[in-house]
Amino acid sequence: MLSLVILPTPTHTKMASSLLTLLLRRRLGLTPVRGVYWVQITHQALCTKVSPEEEGSIPVSPYQNAPWEYLETEEYLTRYGSRPVWADYQRNHKGGIPPQRTRKTCIRGNKVAGNPCPICRDQKLHVDFRNVKLLEQFICAQTGVIFHAPYTGICMKQHKKVTEAILKARDHGFLSYHIPLAQPRDTDFSNSHGAVGCTPKAPALAAGTSWYPWYNWQQPPERELLRIRRLYQGHLKEENEPLLEMMPMSPSQINILPEGEESKSIH
Amino acid sequence: MPQDFFLRDLGSRSLSQPGQAAGGVMAAFRVPASFRLCRAAARGTGLVGAGPRLPFSPSPGACGTGPSCRRAGSEASSCCSNTKKPEFTDDEVQNILTKMTGLDLQKVFKAAKQPLKPPTYKLMTEAQLEEATRNAIEAAKERLKMPPVLKERQPINDVLADDKILEGTETSKYVFTDLTYSIPHRERFIVVREPSGVLRKASWEERDRMIQIFFPKEGRKIFPPLMFQEENLQTLFNQDRHEDVLNLCVAQFEPDSADYIKVHHQTYENIEKHSKYDVLRSTRHFGGMVWYLVNKKNIDGLLIDQIQKDLMDDATNLVILYHMLHPNGHSAKQAKEQGAEGLDLIKVFAKTEAQQGGYIELTLQAYQEALSSHSAAS
């Protein structure tokens, strides 16, 4: 994702601007708009490891890690003064009533819309939950309500980022907001009810035995054993292994077993 | 009858020092003390309706959170021999704390950031204005009702069933919550079926989370705000936003949860360290802070602050509360011997048990000089 800075050019830097535009045209084949000075920052430049050829030519916003510092600089003060960043912005729209949603985003790929919104037009402004001064400009000082996008003029994508940053800052405690006076949820704190108090353990758990008696092997009565043996005479496997270890097999499967393995018949 | 004996004896003594009178009666006469204890124990178990009904269970700390089986017996046996420790919910203690909190209408009804309404203007006579002020004071008293101070709750570790046959059938836990609308949340059954087949009661954190999901409370989030982490708390304290922290803590956590108690203690420690008592004065958290400091025997800073602000009644009440809670200390015993009152109480305390006794005496001296010079001037 490329990021851009658009600043109006004073006339004496035409030389520098024409050189730069030549550079840019060679790089990305873009025709810059006359009177506007475009600086394109490639994706690689934003990484921590900047390759040496690009380091000198394309500036990176120095406030990436500490966005709040920009709001103290001379440059910011001369540009905005004490007014919010969106104060001097005017949307371009047909008719008297502006559309109720601003544009979806100012920057698509490496292209910037005409008349970008107050945040997109200044590359050094980063929407971060830590730079409280910038976020406060988008909250009403009297009501604590976050301004809607058509009020400040920022694009919908930036509005979403600003809202998320404000909520995150409130969550971390950087921004103050009105906390309603809440009473405790419950009235009785004795914790005597069985749902939250201690219940005596079930006898099976207390004794350490298994929960259901049939979890453990229960030796069937002798009568049953004799009956089963009589029923499946000649087809049973050895009686030494307990029946639990084997998968229960149907009589047809028992017949498939080698006939020589028949148990000692009891009868 | 022991009851008559107790009442007759109270009538004969003067009630100018409520803490000392109670202590004296308690120490000297064992029979009425035990009668009062048994009444209190019965009140704790909810059987007798004799005493005034308090909103919160009066003896949660000593006996309530433990298993219900050993409650009444242990309390009666351990406390019969010596005086009963005053609880946060006792009337005397609450009176002292409310007086110390004060009632600044401007601070209680501070303008809050909320959606704007057009302002209303009313023309009132003097009488109407007074009535409006009285109503405002009533509303403020309602707002200044103190949140409960409880001991930390015992963790829930009960296993209800162990079905090994279910082992390996599921890959995640299932939480079953009883959603009956009309039962109190503390009586709601919430159980968890683990993948190993164990059916256990949900822990306190799980309970709070589930109840917040199904019965959301205003101001409470399902996961606690990141504001309560150490670094962020320090940022907030530096901005003097202790009241916000405590209000959010009351909204977010249960009064007997570990987080609630920890955050409150941290806030109180920070206030005491930087002597920022004014931040909480005239809020509902001041009483809790005073209770914490008195229990920790750390009231010097608060005393000095009160003397410097000419709140002598509050200072004397603070020392009285200290004596109520620590009746066996040097300070309480000496004060009882000398029968000290008012400023003398504070002097006795400063001489005996205070860590910054010298500073307290200096401040007292300065106050007395200022008082005498003011009276001489006028």
Q: Do A198 and B67 touch (CB under 8 A)?
A: yes
Q: Do B158 and A144 touch (CB under 8 A)?
A: no
Q: Do B148 and A144 touch (CB under 8 A)?
A: no
Computed over its alpha carbons, how large is the radius of gyration of chain A? Answer: 39
Q: Do A179 and B248 touch (CB under 8 A)?
A: yes
**Residue A145 pLDDT:** 94
Chain A residues within an 8 Å CB radius of B227 = 171-173
Contact with chain A for residue B231, Cβ under 8 A? no
pLDDT tens digits, A98-128 = 999 999 999 998 899 999 999 999 999 999 9
Does the structure show a pLDDT above 50 at B42?
Answer: no
Question: What percentage of residues in chain B have a pLDDT greater than 90?
Answer: 61
This model of the complex carries an ipTM of 0.74
Interface test with chain B among A174, A190, A214, A217, by most B beta carbons within 10 Å: A190
Contact with chain B for residue A244, Cβ under 8 A? no
CA A156 – CA B212 distance, rounded (Å) = 32
pLDDT tens digits, B234-266 = 999 999 999 999 999 999 999 999 999 999 999
Q: Which of A145, A171, A202 sits opposite B226 (nearest CB)?
A: A171
Q: Which residue has the tokens 């009868």?
A: A267
Q: Which residue has the tokens 């030549």?
A: A22
Contact with chain B for residue A26, Cβ under 8 A? no
Contact with chain A for residue B156, Cβ under 8 A? yes
**Residue A258 pLDDT:** 54
Confidence of residue A91 (pLDDT cuts 50, 70, 90): very high
CA B16 – CA A81 distance, rounded (Å) = 64
Q: Which of A184, A190, A191 sits opposite B250 (nearest CB)?
A: A184
Chain A residues within an 8 Å CB radius of B154 = 191, 198
pLDDT average, residue stretch B85-105: 92
Q: Do B57 and A171 touch (CB under 8 A)?
A: no
**Residue B3 pLDDT:** 45
Q: Do B236 and A189 touch (CB under 8 A)?
A: no
Helix (H, G, I), strand (E, B) or coil at B133: helix
Q: Do the bridges between strand A107-108 and strand B174-177 make them parallel or antiparallel, or are there none, so unpaired? A: unpaired
Confidence of residue A249 (pLDDT cuts 50, 70, 90): low
Averaged pLDDT score across all residues of chain A? 78
- The CATH classification number of A69-172 equals 4.10.640.10
DSSP code of residue B64: I
Sign of the four-CA dihedral A63, A69, A71, A74? negative
CB B76 within 8 A of CB B45: no
Domain residue ranges of chain A, discontinuous segments joined by +: 69-172
pLDDT tens digits, B162-200 = 888 899 899 999 999 999 999 999 999 999 999 999 999
**Residue A19 pLDDT:** 56
**Residue B279 pLDDT:** 92
Number of A–B residue contacts, CB under 8 Å: 137
Contact with chain A for residue B323, Cβ under 8 A? no
> Residue A171, class by beta-carbon neighbours within 10 Å (0-12 exposed, 13-18 middle, 19+ buried)?
middle
Contact with chain A for residue B235, Cβ under 8 A? yes
Name B161's bridge partners. B199
Q: Which of B36-45, B283-292, B350-359 has the lowest mean pLDDT?
A: B36-45
CA B324 – CA A167 distance, rounded (Å) = 46
CB A105 within 8 A of CB A1: no
Contact with chain A for residue B153, Cβ under 8 A? yes
DSSP code of residue A146: B
**How distant is the Cα of A255 from the closest Cα of chain B, in angstroms?**
31
Confidence of residue B367 (pLDDT cuts 50, 70, 90): very high
**How distant is the Cα of A195 from the closest Cα of chain B, in angstroms?**
5
CA B174 – CA B194 distance, rounded (Å) = 7
Q: Do A173 and B190 touch (CB under 8 A)?
A: no
CA B241 – CA B248 distance, rounded (Å) = 11
Chain B residue nearest residue A214, CA to CA: B165
Helices (H) and strands (E) in chain B, counts: 17, 4
Contact with chain B for residue A192, Cβ under 8 A? yes
Chain A residues within an 8 Å CB radius of B64 = 189-192
Neighbours of A155 (CB within 10 A): 22
DSSP B76-88: HHHHSSSPPPPPT
**Residue A156 pLDDT:** 96
**Residue A194 pLDDT:** 87
Q: Do B56 and A173 touch (CB under 8 A)?
A: no
What six digits make up the tokens of B134?
């009285």
What value, to the nearest 5°, has the Cα angle with vertex A28 and ends A23 and A33? 75
Residue with more model confidence, B256 or A244: B256
Residue B32: phi and psi, rounded to 5, are -65, -30
Chain A residue nearest residue B188, CA to CA: A195
Interface test with chain A among B43, B158, B159, by most A beta carbons within 10 Å: B158
- All residues at 6 or more sequence positions from B209 whose CB lies less than 8 Å from its CB, including other chains: B222, B223
DSSP B192-236: EE-TTSEEEEPPHHHHHHHHHHHS--TT--SS--GGGSHHHHHHH
Neighbours of A264 (CB within 10 A): 7
What six digits make up the tokens of A31?
């025709």
pLDDT tens digits, B312-356 = 999 999 999 999 999 888 888 888 888 888 888 888 898 888 888
CA A265 – CA A255 distance, rounded (Å) = 16
Chain A residues within an 8 Å CB radius of B235 = 173-174
| Amino acid making up residue A112 | V
Confidence of residue A253 (pLDDT cuts 50, 70, 90): low
Q: Do A186 and B254 touch (CB under 8 A)?
A: yes
CA A233 – CA A266 distance, rounded (Å) = 9
Contact with chain A for residue B53, Cβ under 8 A? no
**Residue A198 pLDDT:** 87
Residue A191's closest CA among B44, B216, B263?
B44
Chain A residues within an 8 Å CB radius of B54 = none
Helix (H, G, I), strand (E, B) or coil at A24: helix
Q: Do A211 and B163 touch (CB under 8 A)?
A: yes
Give the global pTM: 0.71
CA A109 – CA A3 distance, rounded (Å) = 9
CA B204 – CA B210 distance, rounded (Å) = 10
CB A80 within 8 A of CB A119: no
Q: Do B235 and A196 touch (CB under 8 A)?
A: no
**How distant is the Cα of B82 from the closest Cα of chain A, in angstroms?**
24
